[in-house]
Amino acid sequence: MSLKTPTRTTAAEARHPSNSAQGSHRPARALAVLKKNTSGLVVLIILSVLVVLPLGLVLLAAFSDSVPRPGSISLGGLTLSNLALLATPEAFGALVNSLMVGTGSALIALLIGAFLAFVCARSDAPWRKFIFFIGMAPMFIPALVGALAWSLLSSPSAGYINILLRDLGIDAAINIYSLPGLVFVLGIFYAPYAFLLLHSSLSMMNADLEEAATVHGAPLRTMLRTVTLPLALPAILGSAVLVFALTMENFPVAQVIGNPAGVDTLPTYIYRLMSATPAKSNQAASVAVILTVALMAVTVIQQRIINKRKFTTMTGKGNRPRQVPLRKLRWPFTLLAVGYFAVSVVLPMLALLTASMQATPFVSSISQLLEANSLSFAKLLEVLGSNDFQLALKNSVLVALIAAFAGTTLSFIASYVRYRTKSRTGRLIELVAMTPLAVPAIVMGIGLLWTWLLLPLPIYGTLAILAVACVAVFLPQGYRGVSASMLQMDQDLEDSAVMLGAGRARSVVDVTLPLMRVGITSSFLLFLMLSMRELSASIFLFTSNTRILSILVFDNFDNGQSQAAAAVSVLYCLVIGILAVIAQKAGGERKTKS
């Protein structure tokens, strides 16, 4: 950018000889250009440290024989030998598994999400409000906890479902520790993403378009096939690709469910390489590069599909699209939805509660659980009172709050530079801010680890680095929320404050911030909720003093203490639930105010 400026100035002056006669103004103008871009450059530098540098280090490590460390960073040891690993059956198997997991769970999530969205938004089934809740509820259970719950439910030997089957004399066992099991768990816990996208597409669809089809003689079935479905298609494809991307990079579920089965996906393979002794960091980096490239390709496709959607189905009109009468299927459809609720929320929660309350670690039959004194709150209370839990809780909340505050602030400044100034850095800022969308969290974690070991700022080993990780990983979501809200606000509102004598900063504080408070608060809450659930990046960044709740659950499970893991999980979900209720309250208040 700074290289371009002088050439531009000379070109302009060549066309206006009167200007170049006074050559002394040239530096003044270059300075003006620099001044105009200062804030943009500062934001760009922060974003680069946050996003670009970590990725660069991973890329460097992938093609190097040493790990980037202070003093030892050089381009001397460049090699392609790490790539040889990619030809091994292990790495290739992990890649194939990742693709299968992504495809399978995207299909399941799409089926569930589309079904729920249709029933909730466009049918006359009973309990539609509850079905909307059903569609969203699993989002409040971190995928890690969901996976843990399902391993309690149907691990081949000790799973509650399998014990029940044995009790009933049925000679069949469900083995969740398998590739289909992994696909199933990911599918049900990522279905809400498909549901939310499709629900908004179906309920915001312009009713006129459908009515036009009816007026021109199409019966209901034909209308659904020729108008509704094509209009919803971008959302359908978009959500399927989104779930594919999310599940392909998912680490916690793959680790909990896949690891016992010996099923490796790319993220778990990376983790295994990183935690081997000695760590095979360079190989891990090369696998990380493959995963990132794959995810980038998928994300680009997804963004293309989603961007198309804007032109087809969004309308500002409040007219309600038509309801499809289900007749005999009304109750069966609702029951199916409730069935999904049982599988995604009720059973997992029951399993976690039971596991954390059972008196003996081993259960041989379900009837044993019904005996007196077989269940107690002792373990839960013990965990609640333990230093480990209290520290992790404090850390989690602190990290989430810092991340939410820093992330929202950064998102606002970046959006402002992009959409409210003429700074040439704007587009680049947006690109960098959106990049983490296409970077697996686990890769970001490795990159951040190396970055902050390298940088002179000593935040490694503190909570700050966990907050930094959350900001980096969730920046796209925050940035998108804030910039959407900024674009909705007429720039004249801020400019008029400037015209009336306020400085730019003052105008932002007096006018822009108050008018954007809804968008800003939701972005803050989004950062908060997402950061509370984060595991994949933090797993490389925590120390014994900076464990957060997700890490505590993972550690306990990893050490075979599934009862402790279950107990922490129950409390973890409780904390998230409380935060969600507070967020909802805050949201409700905002609505009544405006």
Partner 1 sequence: MKISIQNLQLKYGSFTAIENLNLDIEDGEALVLLGQSGCGKTSTMRCIAGLEEPTSGRIIIDDIVVFDSEKGINLPPNKRNVGMVFQSYAVWPHMTVAQNVAYSLKRKKLATKEIDERVTEALTLVGLDQFAERGASLLSGGQMQRVALARSLVMRPSVLMLDEPLSNLDARLRDRLRVELREIQLKLGLTCVYVTHDQHEAFALADRIALLQGGRIVQMGAPRHMYEAPASASIAHFLGVSNIMECTEITAADGQTAARIAASDLTIHATQPPAQAALSPKVCIRAEDLQVTAAPTGSVNSWPGTVRVAGFQGNDVRYAVELEAGPELDVLGGLKRGEQHNVGDRVWVTVNAREVQILPAEVFA
Binding site for partner 1 (CB under 8 A): 16, 18-19, 22, 25, 28-29, 32, 490, 492-493, 495-504, 506, 510-511, 514-515
Pick between residue 58 and residue 515 the one whose CB is nearest to partner 1.
Answer: 515
Pick between residue 295 and residue 511 the one whose CB is nearest to partner 1.
Answer: 511
Alpha carbon of 122 to those of 126, 191, 201, 228, 489: distances in Å?
12, 18, 11, 11, 31
**Cβ-proximal residues to 162 (8 Å cutoff; 6+ apart), any chain:** 154, 155, 156, 173, 174
Q: What is the nearest approach in angstroms of partner 1 to the Cβ of residue 510? A: 8
Q: What is the nearest approach in angstroms of partner 1 to the Cβ of residue 405? A: 22
Q: Count Cα neighbours of 145 within 13 Å in the Cβ-side half-sphere.
A: 32
Beta strands, E only, 436-486 = none
Q: Is 322 exposed, middle or buried (0-12, 13-18, 19+ CB in 10 A)?
A: middle
Q: What is the nearest approach in angstroms of partner 1 to the Cβ of residue 28? A: 5
CA 93 – CA 84 distance, rounded (Å): 14
Closest CA to 176 of 253, 240, 251: 253
Neighbours of 229 (CB within 10 A): 11
Pick between residue 29 and residue 308 the one whose CB is nearest to partner 1.
Answer: 29
Query: Is 354 in contact with 377 (CB distance < 8 Å)?
Result: no
Pick between residue 80 and residue 505 the one whose CB is nearest to partner 1.
Answer: 505
Q: What is the nearest approach in angstroms of partner 1 to the Cβ of residue 8? A: 11
Residues β-bridged to residue 64: 78
Query: Is 15 in contact with 47 (CB distance < 8 Å)?
Result: no
Pick between residue 32 and residue 314 the one whose CB is nearest to partner 1.
Answer: 32
Pick between residue 29 and residue 330 the one whose CB is nearest to partner 1.
Answer: 29
CA 508 – CA 525 distance, rounded (Å): 21
Secondary structure of residue 520 in the 3-state scheme: helix
CA 201 – CA 231 distance, rounded (Å): 8
> What are the phi and psi torsion angles at 375 (to 5°)?
-120, 140
Pick between residue 89 and residue 501 the one whose CB is nearest to partner 1.
Answer: 501
Residue reference for tokens 């209308």: 223
Q: What is the nearest approach in angstroms of partner 1 to the Cβ of residue 478? A: 23
Pick between residue 335 and residue 509 the one whose CB is nearest to partner 1.
Answer: 509
Pick between residue 30 and residue 173 the one whose CB is nearest to partner 1.
Answer: 30
Pick between residue 38 and residue 74 the one whose CB is nearest to partner 1.
Answer: 38
Closest CA to 471 of 534, 543, 421, 417: 534
Pick between residue 309 and residue 420 the one whose CB is nearest to partner 1.
Answer: 420
Pick between residue 140 and residue 419 the one whose CB is nearest to partner 1.
Answer: 419
Q: What is the nearest approach in angstroms of partner 1 to the Cβ of residue 11? A: 12
Q: What is the nearest approach in angstroms of partner 1 to the Cβ of residue 10? A: 15
Q: What is the nearest approach in angstroms of partner 1 to the Cβ of residue 423? A: 13
Residue 468 token pair: 């930094």
> What are the phi and psi torsion angles at 480 (to 5°)?
-65, -45
Query: Is 82 in contact with 63 (CB distance < 8 Å)?
Result: yes
**Cβ-proximal residues to 47 (8 Å cutoff; 6+ apart), any chain:** 410, 414, 429, 432, 433, 475
Neighbours of 363 (CB within 10 A): 17
Neighbours of 128 (CB within 10 A): 17
**Cβ-proximal residues to 217 (8 Å cutoff; 6+ apart), any chain:** none
Q: What is the nearest approach in angstroms of partner 1 to the Cβ of residue 517? A: 9
CA 579 – CA 481 distance, rounded (Å): 19
Q: What is the nearest approach in angstroms of partner 1 to the Cβ of residue 412? A: 17
Alpha carbon of 22 to those of 19, 254, 448: distances in Å?
6, 67, 49
* HEC sequence for 163-178: HHHHHCCCCCCCCCCC
Pick between residue 330 and residue 424 the one whose CB is nearest to partner 1.
Answer: 424
Residue 162 token pair: 């399998």
- Find how far residue 245's CA is from the centre of its chain: 10
Q: What is the nearest approach in angstroms of partner 1 to the Cβ of residue 233? A: 36
Q: What is the nearest approach in angstroms of partner 1 to the Cβ of residue 316? A: 17
Residues β-bridged to residue 375: 358
> What are the phi and psi torsion angles at 205 (to 5°)?
-60, 140
Pick between residue 512 and residue 550 the one whose CB is nearest to partner 1.
Answer: 512
Q: What is the nearest approach in angstroms of partner 1 to the Cβ of residue 488? A: 13
- Find how far residue 176's CA is from the centre of its chain: 24
Q: What is the nearest approach in angstroms of partner 1 to the Cβ of residue 492? A: 4
Q: What is the nearest approach in angstroms of partner 1 to the Cβ of residue 487? A: 15
**Cβ-proximal residues to 246 (8 Å cutoff; 6+ apart), any chain:** 190, 193
Pick between residue 25 and residue 330 the one whose CB is nearest to partner 1.
Answer: 25
